[in-house]
Amino acid sequence: AQKVTQAQTEISVVEKEDVTLDCVYETRDTTYYLFWYKQPPSGELVFLIRRNSFDEQNEISGRYSWNFQKSTSSFNFTITASQVVDSAVYFCALSEKNNAGKSTFGDGTTLTVKP
Amino acid sequence: ETGVTQTPRHLVMGMTNKKSLKCEQHLGHNAMYWYKQSAKKPLELMFVYNFKEQTENNSVPSRFSPECPNSSHLFLHLHTLQPEDSALYLCASSQETSGGLSTDTQYFGPGTRLTVL
């Protein structure tokens, strides 16, 4: 069975601080996909990134970066120089290749960035 | 219109009412999903339609009835709901390969905030 754990329920930082959101997953499949979504107060889940299990290369997109480590089953998300607009709930999700449509989401981490 | 749209955005209904939620995707995807997001609970997958056929029903009560008339539209018909059904209902779509292999990203709509009195 697949499982996603986001141990941090809430994080509060001051603007311009760096912040890392943790995500640990469990799966028996050898091929799987990991995602991060952002849910602002409006409610819509906004896709941020998808990572395939066979590609451990870390990725940077502007102020966002992701650290994928299969050895520790983690897919952590770092925001550099955080901004107030980054305040949202962030979800990590896992989808197994042979489990069509059955994405498992973590409980989410609520990030508050204070000015 | 682009992406995934949902109507209505907010809905208040009594327990004896019948209402429907509508989702439309403009991405050319072939799979659509209904999720329920309750306060302080993780996102729950309710229904999955691949190529217009229902492939997943996660033990959802019969008072929720999905309908997928074509690959662009998805409905959730509501009947005699309970107050605990109050939640944000999110629709998503993705492009799935044939054979049921899950490969692609799900794109979400803005959700319908449902309140059952």
CA B4 to chain A, closest CA, distance in angstroms equals 10
Res. A101 pLDDT band, cuts 50 70 90? low
Contact B1, B109 (CB under 8 A): no
Of residues B39 and B82, more confidence is placed in B82
Interface test with A, best of B94, B106, B107, B114 (most A CBs within 10 A): B106
Of residues A56 and A34, more confidence is placed in A34
Cβ pair A100:B102 closer than 8 A: yes
How far is Cα A109 from Cα A112, in angstroms, rounded to an integer?
Answer: 10
Cβ pair B31:A47 closer than 8 A: no
Task: Tell me whether the omega of the peptide bond preceding residue A115 falls within 30 degrees of 0, making it cis.
Answer: no
Mean pLDDT of A5-30: 95
Q: Which residues of A touch B107 (CB under 8 A)?
A: 47
Please report where in the chains the tokens 């217009």 appear, as a residue.
Answer: B52
How far is Cα A100 from Cα B92, in angstroms, rounded to an integer?
Answer: 14
Establish if A45 touches chain B: CB-CB under 8 angstroms.
yes
Establish if A29 touches chain B: CB-CB under 8 angstroms.
no
Res. B54 pLDDT band, cuts 50 70 90? confident
How many other CB atoms are there within 10 angstroms of residue B113's CB atom? 16
* Per-residue model confidence as pLDDT tens digits over B55-79: 666 678 999 999 999 989 999 999 9
How far is Cα A14 from Cα A19, in angstroms, rounded to an integer?
Answer: 10
Query: Is the pLDDT reported for residue B8 higher than 50?
Result: yes
pLDDT of residue B100: 47
Q: Which residues of B touch A46 (CB under 8 A)?
A: 108
Out of B31, B105, B109, closest to residue A50 by CB: B105
Residues 6+ positions from A41 with CB-CB distance below 8 Å: A88
